[in-house]
Structure 1
Amino acid sequence: MSSNIKKEVILEGLNCAHCASKIEHEVTGLENVTFAHLDFISKKLTIDIKNDDHANHTMHGVTKIVHKLEPDVKIIDKDADKKEKLERLETSNEKKQELYRIGIGAFLFALALIFNFSPNIELALYLIAYVLVGIEVLIKSAKNIKRGQVFDENFLMTIATIGAFAIKEYPEAVAVMLFYQIGEFFQGLAVNRSRKSIADLMDIKPEFANFKTKHGVTKVSPEKVKIGDIIIVKPGEKVPLDGIVTKGTSMVETSALTGESVPKRISEGQEILSGFININGLLTISVTKEFKDSTVSKILDLVQNASSRKSQTENFITKFARYYTPTVVIIAALLAILPPLLLTGANFSDWLYRALVFLVISCPCALVVSIPLGFFGGIGTASKHGILIKGSNYLEALNNVEVIVFDKTGTLTKGVFKVTEVNPANDFTKDEILEYAALAESYSNHPIAESIQKAYQKEIKKIQLPIIVKFLVTD
């Protein structure tokens, strides 16, 4: 019997937020697709297909859509080396070559502007600079026109700059393409940095679990551990699954989940969550949730799918973009044609120039692309500072916040303690109180205990501890 299936692929090389929304829209419209979402952060395309019998046919349709809209994007199976895909930077050899091209083009453009060459040499310099800087845009525009994707930013930049050459405004043609490519290059860097920040935030996933059996302890993947199984967590290791501590006592760092910088004491019978870091004790844990339902898994899902929770502004821009570019092209054409026909003394060359200027300033990058990237960059920057924002709708909601309430420790303070004052009583001196307190805390690594030991500033002879305790109790 056939059933619904979910397919997940990675679109390697996807850096255009606007193109991502177009891919998502067209894939959603395929016959057997019930749901499609393209997460621009992880470049993961998730597709729900009605019937597994149609899976191959549907995925073939998805491939055609992706290559029609973004010919250079590679479709990779999600299960292939995930870490390599997340950390693969676009500033590889291909990006370096692009930077060299832009640099040489900018140098030739500057030469033609600064020095008084003959008209032929000047034109040659401008042409070479234009080709070096804009070849990628020209090729994309030609490919998109061939595939029926006419109205996009590549098409606008191409007709605007070629038109500028046609009316002999060579510097404007090269400058427009140069600034556009520089903007695209820095946009790519910003996207990759945001992706890396979000990927670093996802690094809370434990790599293994110490599974306890009759024959000993074995390292296994957290996904293989079942409810009721016993795992061991050693000092310094991440807790891989949610559970109940059955044996042992330890301090655990919870900052990855709660943001609380002060370690928490966990002992037998207490609940412990995946993602905590065991600091000093050996813990034996009875697993209460499988990895797919664990706390760390839910947090990873929130991070990976943050871009699926779109703001009202993003949803509006996505719809607006479908009509924006064609409208701009039509208005530009009317601007070039109608005034010379209707106005006395109007010059076609002047109005063509104005139409080209209108095309350049109306390029959708400024509006259609910048808004999704703005939200994406905001989520990425927050991730860099360890703040998880679950979607752009939540980021937009912060615009209306009037009152913020902080949990002080770990938010406004660092959770680092210091002894500021000692108040002795019953004929004890300050030095004696500090010494006794330091001795009493000498076996503890709690932050408050460490601050007392640091304030004592002397070597602690731990052999004195039983004597001091006996003296204090007796006294």
Structure 2
Amino acid sequence: MKTTKHEWNLKGICCANCAQKIVTAVQNMEGVASARLDFANAKFYVEILDGQDTGSIRERVKTIMADIEPGSSIVDDVPEQEENEEGSFKKRIALYIGGLLLFITAIILPKESLPETLLFITAWLIFGGEVLAKSFRNILKGRVFDENFLMTIATIGAFVLGEYAEGASVMLFYQIGELFQGYAVDRSRKSIRQLLDIKPEFANLITENGLIRAQPANVRIGDRIKVFPGEKIPLDGRVIEGHSSVDTSPLTGESLPRDVQEGDEVLSGSINQTGVLTLEVIKSYENSTVNRILELVQTAAGKKAVTERFITRFAAKYTPAVVGLAAILAIVPPILTQTPFSQWAYRALVFLVISCPCALVISIPLGFFGGIGAASRRGILVKGGNYLEALAKVDTMVFDKTGTLTTGVFEVTGIAPRPGFTGQELLYYAACAESYSTHPLARSILSKYGQNPDPDRMDSHEEIPGRGVRARVDGKQVLCGNRSLLKDHQIDADDVPVSGTSLYVAVDGIYAGRIDLGDALKPDARSAIERLRALGIQNTVLLTGDTEVTARDVAKRLGIGRVHAQLLPQDKVTVLERIMEEKQGANPVAFVGDGINDAAVISRADIGIAMGGIGSDAAIEAADIVIMNDEVGKLGDAVTIARKTRRIVYQNIVLALGVKLLFLAMATGGLASLWEAVFADVGVALLAVLNAMRIIKAGDRLH
């Protein structure tokens, strides 16, 4: 059956597990063909069977969302969503400040007084109201054992035992951590929506009444459009008039422009540089290259497996075990020993209060925040603790080439003169011929020559589109360009280039030699790959839109194992998904890139890493980790910090659980009072916090 696709903006989606439950419920709805929720960008993509009432299905989806994650819903427009999110965040801040003031006031008041008790309970409700509501809702739906449930029964148990400060403080620390995480998620989503926009704004449509500016989506196949220098090509088309250099870096990431002339096809999203082009549109906007890239970016993040928070995974096993042991402690000993039930019920409550993961709730997020702080001090922006945790397990790293491992600026890598010419003469003739050209290769020749050629020594200069230049230098005809230029003048250039791009020079009909140019490696690229290898990341892959010869040369110089060349953005996503399938989920796969063309594959990777110095906004905002100073050598620092962070977090878990197990055993035997247990828990939390802070200093000592 035919279907209609719908894209809905969401608000209030903060829980990855809830998002997956919503998708499952919507997919099972009658009239829905498929459903996919993009958690990272807060969008819902739903395919509805033709003949179904879309409005009714939308309302049912809203009901499902509100049931699974209260506060979440569908909104009509992004500005409204952003305004609601900002307002909601400010209200929570104000509420929590009020709760904190009440908590501090209660501590100051006389112990065991009625005002103290009421203030602690009020603060507990302010900070824990959401946790309590989630816990009871989940119980009604059969989802019992999570951190919400454990904190609920533990804090209620603390109140029953008269320890109001302990009960309120657990909720306070938990909500502070949740607040920071929610803020980070909302900011990331807002940035993606604002900056991820490479759509061409208009097309210069040729009509009987002259040129008119039209929306690209309204231009049809076969229509003719004009593209002026500096404008973005709005639709895929074929050149029917004019010639120009076209910057394809938004699509391929490669800095070398492509010369086009009549009969050549050009892709939307490219930038016209020099001449006026008249194009015949060969693809509708919906099927154009630029729109396909946008769709890739929007859908790639939705395909990525959402890394569940560490504390949530831990609580899924810890909570039922603790609750089960507390129940056994309350029921079994009285039966076996014929002792009063109330005595063991009290011990069970003490057991639950001791077992409440206060130290864990504080120290685990703080461990990851410490790691994020250490990374930021090294110029590395990590957008969440889950990405830092995943990075610690990476053993496969996939790289873009231009702007990531190379500078994107061409340099002369070799000069090969033929007999009768010196290298300096060859460079001189090439520099004179290219002195009026704005082509990147021309600038590289002039940079190598080191000075501006004397214009009085040149009689003429002519650019030949797609070939090179022809000039008269010192009364001699000089040709400088590709093989085709020399072939057109019946000059045989039989040299075989070593790698990369080459310019061939002829003087008065005689082949003078070849100048090789290549994309310069970043100064720290080779050492970065070597360091990653030393860290155990042996599997490195290069994905690039450049030629096979150039790609293999760069990979060889850097020691990268696998190469995939001449790739468009959609091809990069396909290759990355193949690599991820080979891994079968064993360890995360990271992709490192910098351009708009990398945004989709960065989003699709388990961990997307962007170069922030010269990288595009789209790539930076789609990434999970950003190298802010553009140094690829920082990758080793990022991996080292991630592994140190994971080690410290595990140390905190062992510390907290070790002390808890000791006091739980003592509480079971009646040897530990609640105050001793509370003191131990607070002490462990403090030690865990201090341990977590070590990673910040450790980050400063990286080499």
- Please say whether Structure 1 and Structure 2 have the same fold, judged by a TM-score greater than 0.5: yes
Question: 1:355 is matched by which residue type in structure 2?
Answer: L
Aligned equivalent of 1:349, options 321, 333, 346? 346
Give the corresponding residue for 2:89.
95
Distance in 2 between residues matched to 1:102 and 1:330, nearest whole Å: 30
The amino acid across from 1:93 in the alignment is: G
Is 1:68–1:147's contact at 8 Å kept on the other side of the alignment? no
Q: Give the one of 284, 309, 317 matched to 1:290.
A: 284
- How far, CA to CA, are the matches of 1:148 and 1:362 in structure 2? 29
Shift of 1:248: 2.5
1:160-239 matches, within 5 Å, as 160-196=154-190, 198-199=192-193, 202-239=196-233
1:329-356 CA-to-partner distances (Å, cap 9, x unmatched) read: 7665543333222114663223123335
Write the mapping of 1:4-19 to structure 2, written as runs, cut at 5 A. 4-19=3-18
The answer to whether structure 1 residue 118 and structure 2 residue 111 are counterparts is yes
Separation (CA, whole Å) in 1 of partners of 2:351 and 2:301: 38
The AA in structure 2 aligned to 1:341 is: I
Corresponding letter in the other structure for 2:459: P
The Cα of 1:106 is off from its aligned counterpart by 4.3
Moved more, 54-63 or 177-186: 54-63
Quick one: structure 1 residues 428 and 129, their matched pair in 2 at CA, closer, same or farther if it must change by over 3 Å?
same
Residues 258-337 of structure 1 mapped to structure 2, 5 A cutoff: 258-311=252-305, 333-337=323-327
Q: Which has the larger displacement, 267-276 or 433-442? A: 433-442
1:20 deviates by 1.1
Where is the strand percentage greater, Structure 1 or Structure 2?
2
Equivalences, count = 434
CA displacement, residues 213-248 of structure 1 (integer Å, 9 cap, x when unaligned)? 222222212111121211222222222221222223
% identical equivalent positions: 40
SS of residue matched to 1:450: helix
Question: Which secondary structure state, in structure 1, belongs to the residue aligned with residue 178 of structure 2?
Answer: helix
**Per-residue CA shift, 1:236-293, capped at 9, x if unaligned?**
2222221222223333332322222333333332221122122333222221111111
1:471 aligns with 2:508: no
Task: Name the residue aligned to 2:434.
Answer: 441
Paired AA for residue 251 in structure 1: S
- Matches of 1:429 and 1:68, distance apart in 2: 76
Q: Once structures 1 and 2 are overlaid, which stretch shifts more, 146-155 or 331-340?
A: 146-155
1:440 is aligned with what amino acid?
A
Change in CA separation of 1:169 and 1:301 when aligned onto 2, cut-off 3 Å: same
2: distance between equivalents of 1:463 and 1:268? Answer: 34
Distance 2:67 2:105 in 1: 38
1:429-474 deviation line (CA, Å, top 9, x unaligned): 95x8766544422322222212344456666675753265362328
**Is the Cα–Cα contact under 8 Å of residues 435 and 452 in structure 2 kept in the other structure?**
no
Partner of 1:388: none
Contact persistence 2:220–2:284 (CA under 8 A): yes
CA distance in 2, matches of 1:407, 1:462: 40
Closer/same/farther in 2, CA of residues 469 and 356 from structure 1, 3 Å limit: same
Q: For each residue in 1:298-338, what CA deviation from the matched residue of structure 2 results, as whole angstroms up to 9, or x when unmatched? A: 22222111244354x97xx89xx99x96x987665543333
1:43-74 Cα distance to aligned partner (Å, 9 max, x none): 22222333524434333322221222233223
Conserved? CA contact 2:203–2:214, under 8 Å: yes
Q: Which has the larger displacement, 242-251 or 416-425? A: 416-425
Is contact 1:13–1:90 with CA below 8 Å preserved after alignment? no
Paired residue type of 1:70: E
Q: 1:459 to 1:399 in 2, by over 3 A?
A: closer
Deviates more, 1:228-237 or 1:96-105: 96-105
Amino acid at match of 2:352: A
SS in 2 for 1:218: strand
Q: Structure 1 residues 65 and 471, CA, compared in 2 at 3 Å: closer, same or farther?
A: same
Matches within 5 A, 1:235-250: 235-250=229-244
C-alpha displacement of 1:85: 6.5
Residues 70 and 436 of structure 1, relative CA distance in 2, 3 Å threshold:
same
Q: Secondary structure at the match of 1:57?
A: helix
Amino acid at match of 2:184: A
In 2, distance between residues paired with 1:47 and 1:298?
18
For 1:401-440, list aligned pairs within 5 A. Answer: 401=396, 408-418=401-411, 437-440=430-433
3-state SS in 2 of match to 1:180 = helix
Tell whether the 8 Å contact from 2:3 to 2:33 is kept in structure 1 after alignment.
no
For 1:244, the aligned partner's letter is R
5 Å matches for 1:66-105? Answer: 66-77=65-76, 80=77, 84=79, 88=82, 92-105=86-99
Give the aligned residue type for 2:346.
S
Partner of 1:411: helix, strand, or coil?
coil
- With over 3 angstroms needed to count, the CA separation of the structure-2 counterparts of 1:18 and 1:8, relative to structure 1, is same
**In the alignment, residue 347 of structure 1 is paired with which amino acid?**
W
C-alpha deviation, 1:413, in angstroms? 1.0
Q: 1:196 to 1:426 in 2, by over 3 A?
A: farther
- The letter of the residue matching 1:441 is E
Deviation track 1:15-62 (CA, whole Å, cap 9, x = no partner) reads 221221121111122223232222212322222333524434333322
User: Could you say which residue in structure 2 is the equivalent of 1:374?
Assistant: none
Between stretches 253-262 and 216-225, larger displacement belongs to: 253-262
Residues 239, 273 of structure 1: 8 Å contact kept? yes
Instruction: Give the structure 1 partner of residue 672 of structure 2.
Output: none
The answer on whether the counterparts of 2:38 and 2:44 sit within 8 Å (CA) in structure 1 is yes
Structure 2 residue aligned with 1:338: 328
RMSD of equivalent CA atoms: 4.4
Instruction: Report the AA paired with residue 348 of structure 1.
Output: A
Q: Which amino acid aligns with 1:133?
A: F
**Separation of aligned partners in 2, 1:12 and 1:407:** 34
3-state SS of the aligned residue for 2:263? coil
Secondary structure of the residue aligned to 2:212 is strand
Q: Secondary structure of 2:473's partner?
A: helix
Q: Classify 1:470/1:21 alpha carbon distance in 2 versus 1 (closer, same or farther; 3 Å).
A: same
Tell me if the contact between 1:69 and 1:149 (Cα under 8 Å) persists in the aligned partners.
no
Q: Which residue of 2 aligns with 1:63?
A: 62
TM-score when scaled to structure 2? 0.52
Q: Which amino acid aligns with 2:330?
A: P
- For residues 296 and 325 of structure 2, the distance between their equivalents in structure 1, rounded to whole angstroms, comes to 48
Match of 1:27 in 2: 26
Q: State the one-letter code of the partner of 2:213.
A: K
